[in-house]
Amino acid sequence: MISRLPLDQQLESLRSVLSRNHVLTEVLARTAALGLPGWYVTAGCLFQTVWNVVTERHPTSGIKDYDVFYFDGSDLSWQAEDAVIQAGRKAFADLPAEVEIRNEARVHLWYEDKFGVPCPPYDSAEAAIDSFAATTCCLGVRVETDGRWRVYAPHGLSDVFNLVLRPNPVLAPRAVYEAKVARWQEEWPELTVLDWPSTEITVTSVPIPDPGMPNSTPMRPRRTP
């Protein structure tokens, strides 16, 4: 099991598996050539490639699109982002897949209209990856200038390889998680799906305790039904 391998071997296994998806490796190489700031190829094209290999499907089976995140806070206009999108369309024009490029510095400008909840501004592409509806989806890969793969996996790789979907209730609403799960289970019925939590952790902000006041204690997180 990959979860029992040393971390460096887990990363080697991930690269070996993802490299079997030749569309993905082309997207990685061509995105690197675009020179986008703080970029990652992320989301379904990664973990679904793993699911396909683990379940002995074709590496590209069921993959809807290939997501590219980048982060450029210097210009939040749609025109600037669209210029990058158009450059990407030319770069990926001959690939048998849809590649969707988005500037994660702009997400807070449209997220609430699309999903019904506000999204605080991100400060990096990594922060955007942290907000996916399932922790299993929180995975990003990019190719550095020296050819090394940089892997961002804040929740590790075990769930990805074990086909476990674990909810991540930090931003996306429950309905988004459940809609994605339903769609993915149609394609990969082997998935183990964990339910959305019935309680949430709420942290109440309080002043920092004064060390000179022996009876002062910090407020602890409390569970709300």
Residue 213 lies in a domain: no
CB 154 within 8 A of CB 138: yes
Sign of CA dihedral 205, 208, 213, 219: positive
Residue 39 lies in a domain: yes
Residue 84 lies in a domain: yes
pTM reported for the whole predicted model? 0.84
Give the side-chain half-sphere CA count within 13 A for 45: 26
Question: Exposed, middle or buried, 151 (CB in 10 Å: 0-12/13-18/19+)?
Answer: middle
β-strand pairing of 164-165 with 192-193: parallel
Give the count of domains, the chain.
Answer: 1
Residue 211 lies in a domain: no
Domain holding 43, by residue range, is 2-197
Tens-digit pLDDT profile for residues 110-138 = 999 998 999 999 999 999 999 999 999 99
Residue 153 lies in a domain: yes
Tens-digit pLDDT profile for residues 24-40 = 999 999 999 999 999 99
